A and B are shown apart, each in its own frame.
Chain A
Amino acid sequence: MTIGGEGANGTAQFTLDDLKRMPAVEVVAVNQCAGNRRGLFEPHVPGVEWGYGAMGCARWRGVRLKELLDKVGLKKEAIEIVLNGADSAVTDKTPDFVKSVPTWKAIEDTTLVAYEMNGEPLPHFNGFPARVIVPGWTGTYWMKHITSITAATKSESGFWMNPAYRIPLGKFPLIGRFTSQDSAVNTPITEMVVNSLITSPTNDAKVKLGAPLTIGGIAWDAGYGISSVEVSTDGGKTLAAATLGEDLGRYAFRTFSLEFVPRAKGPQTIMARASNTIGQGQTRQLIANPAGYHHNVIHRITLEVA
């Protein structure tokens, strides 16, 4: 892996063993596809029609990207850090998958070049031997098989920065912005919006009248921290505060649960709504955007009570 670029004072190369000899940092963080839940958009938009599952949460271990950049030294003109991996396309006319992050995000304490996932070497499909992890931000920046990190003094202009992975300006309540990439109408997708998912019971599950059950799920956001999850067991008429599970860090899935006893026969709608520590919540109405990003409409399931 080479680190350099015109925004750096020098160049350095690192092997996997070099990385392992440096101080190790662990972060539990959610990696979510920018397009997760795209398949739920109405009207539909083109792209992989993901349901709810294009995400995961793992314990990542590696070296701070900042520490690697410090080895070469950044010039003050370095506005973006450009990431490239070992993979390439079949034809040379296909744009190589190259991504950049703003320098402020690259040097956060939790942005790593990771070589372990859940205590084991990264599996091939998760980016072996090392990948970048950018906690709080969507998976598009988490460059796999990382081989090149360059400091840039102007904005990276490849296909995968523009026109790909863009959201309309001003539509989403985002704090972590990537302003060197702004156009007149759009900006790169950056941090994840606050979200939650009911994982148990499953949609359309048959449950017994009067029998206690646990409604469980997960909540996450861009790292501001989940402050509460409210669950409705009557289709949204009333809400109850769910119990939050173990806090594995502000970038991790936060589990929630609520005990519930069905008291009426027939279909019953269960809903969950997460909020974070800076007052952001989930939306009731979809925020339409051409690429189908940031779907955080309140999740609902229906239980059949008999």
Chain B
Amino acid sequence: MRVVIIAFAAAAIALPAAAQEKPVELKKAPGVDKVESNCSGCHSLDYILMNSPFPTAATWDAEVTKMVRAFGAPISEADAKVIADYLKANYGS
């Protein structure tokens, strides 16, 4: 019992920031694996939901391009296309 209590207390101390955030569940659709693996390396997946639902196809293309060109995201051209297609199909207008 004592061990359990100590472990719980340690977790509570170690994770105060993370504990306030709910995991982000993106829509399960083709390309979601590329989105999760590439995008979450740099930012919370919240930003996809927070930028929705208005972006047109052209806007999502521009957003992905911005991540690569302005922010230097190391994403291959092939993955960038999969990501943009996923966003257009699931989080666009």
List residues of A whose CB falls within 8 A of some B CB.
39, 44, 46-50, 89-95, 124-125, 159
Contact = CB atoms under 8 A, between A and B. Distances in A.
B50 A91 contact: no
Main secondary structure of the interface of B (DSSP, over half): loop
A93 B62 CA distance: 18
Contact of A46 (B41, B51, B74): B51
Q: Among A49, A95, A124, A125, find the residue whose CB has the most chain B CB atoms closer than 10 A.
A: A49
A47 B51 contact: yes
Main secondary structure of the interface of A (DSSP, over half): loop
B42 to A, nearest CB: 5
Given A46-B59, A94-B42, 16 more contacts: A39-B54, A44-B54, A48-B47, A48-B50, A48-B51, A49-B50, A49-B51, A49-B52, A49-B54, A50-B50, A89-B71, A91-B42, A91-B73, A92-B72, A93-B74, A124-B17
Contacts of A39: 54
B17 A125 contact: yes
B63 interface: yes
Contact of B72 (A44, A46, A49, A94): A94
Contact of B42 (A44, A48, A49, A89): A89
A89 B42 CA distance: 7
18 contacts: A44-B55, A44-B93, A46-B51, A46-B62, A46-B63, A48-B51, A49-B50, A49-B52, A49-B54, A90-B41, A93-B71, A94-B72, A94-B73, A95-B71, A124-B16, A125-B17, A125-B20, A159-B70
Nearest to A44: B54
Given A46-B63, A48-B47, A124-B17, A91 B74 contact: yes
Contacts of A95: 70-71
B58 to A, nearest CB: 10
A93 B75 CA distance: 13
A44 B52 CA distance: 11
Given A48-B50, A49-B52, A90 B63 contact: no
Contacts of A90: 41-42
Interface in B40-57: 41-42, 47, 50-55
